[in-house]
Amino acid sequence: MTRSRCPRCGHLWDYRGSSTLYVTCPGCYRKVLREDCTVYATLADEVEARIRDLASILGLPATAVTRRPGDAGEEVVVCLPPASTS
């Protein structure tokens, strides 16, 4: 099972099939190339990717986002710079 996101409608689903060429999105029912779907091994991978995208938009360095083991599994940690006091 792999996490997949439709490049057309953005629907996220757990793909359980075996096709390597085309898959049908359960959100819009369109056939899309398998390689065009963003695939995440786990939900934590997707969360980390989205947080990294946001950090990049905010101008934070790539090292600002890290993963570490936590009480309930892995945690994604964002180290923000200190707030300016001007």
- The pLDDT value recorded for residue 29 is 94
DSSP letters for 7-62: TTT--EEEE----SSEEE-TTT--EEEGGGSEEESSHHHHHHHHHHHHHHHTT--G
- The pLDDT value recorded for residue 1 is 66
Query: Which residue from 1, 42, 44, 36 is spatially nearest to 25, judged by alpha carbons?
Result: 36
Segment 39-48, tens digit of pLDDT: 666 777 878 8
Segment 8-57, tens digit of pLDDT: 888 888 888 888 889 899 999 999 888 777 666 677 787 888 888 888 88
